[in-house]
Amino acid sequence: MRMRDADKISLVRQKAIELIATHGLEGFSMNKLAKACGISVATLYIYYKDRDDLILKIAVEEGNIMGAAMIVGFDPEMSLEEGLRKQWENRCNYSMKNPKTSLFFEQLRSSSYQEEFLASFLKEFKSVVGKFMHNIIERGEIEKMPFEVYWSIAFAPLYNLIRFHNEGKSKGGRPFKLTDEVLWLTFDFVIKALKK
């Protein structure tokens, strides 16, 4: 058996993300990936058992990178406004620097891979954010609410702005580029909606 090559693994990961982000999961195959990488299909099977193994391993690796990026400089003891601002800053920075990876995750969210992918990563991230939520509720900064309600108010507006930016247009086809002014104006409305 041939030795694994770290550069080749990195190239495979990068090209798989690009192909899935661009063509979706249904347009992704090991043959297309091998061609995009300039390697033989057999080489892929040195690193991965099959297509599913490849997708899940890449998703977990990238998910852990994303999770770590989201908690840089974040402390679960922060106030609602300070902590959420840091989360928005980190999430926005990650998404803007990694647009293909963000699209890759979008593809996974609406696939059969979602459950296995979500179950296997972000453990530290979930723990830190869980403590943050517990603390802001305990301090009376927000009402107790289901996590899904909190997430929908706290982060859905941010991800919509990022999606508009990545697509270059908002609803109705109007040109759109995310600016700090629009980002933090939206954030201010989110804080008003969440504060007790």
Report the chain's C-alpha Rg in angstroms: 19
| Cβ–Cβ under 8 Å, residues 41 and 30 | yes
Tell which phi-psi region holds residue 82, choosing left (phi > 0), alpha (psi between -120 and 50) or beta.
Answer: alpha
Give the model's confidence band at 2: pLDDT under 50 very low, under 70 low, under 90 confident, else very high. low
Calculate the average pLDDT of the chain.
92
**∠ CA 181-184-185 to the nearest 5 degrees?**
75
Q: Calculate what percentage of the chain has a pLDDT beyond 90.
A: 80
**Alpha helices for 26-146 (secondary structure H):** 30-37, 41-47, 51-70, 80-97, 99-109, 114-119, 123-138
Same fold, 1-48 and 60-194: no
pTM score over 0.85: yes
pLDDT at 1 over 50: no
Rounded-to-5 percentages of helix, strand, coil across the chain:
70, 0, 25
Q: What is the distance between the alpha carbons of residues 7 and 107, in angstroms, rounded to a whole number?
A: 25
| pLDDT above 60 (res 3) | no
User: Half-sphere exposure (CA, 13 Å, Cβ side) for 56?
Assistant: 15
Q: Which CATH architecture has domain 60-194?
A: Orthogonal Bundle (1.10)
- pLDDT tens by residue, 25-37: 999 999 999 999 9
Q: Rounded distance, CA 185 to CA 182, Å?
A: 5
In single-letter form, the type of residue at position 77 comes to E
pLDDT at 64: 86
**Does the structure show a pLDDT above 80 at 11?**
yes
The CATH number assigned to the domain with range 1-48 reads 1.10.10.60
121 band by pLDDT with thresholds 50, 70 and 90: low
Task: Show me where the domains of the chain are located.
Answer: 1-48, 60-194
pLDDT at 85 over 90: yes
Q: What is the DSSP letter of 76?
A: T
Q: Is the pLDDT of residue 118 over 80?
A: no
Distance CA 113, CA 101 (A): 15
Per-residue model confidence as pLDDT tens digits over 129-164: 899 999 999 999 999 999 899 999 999 999 999 999
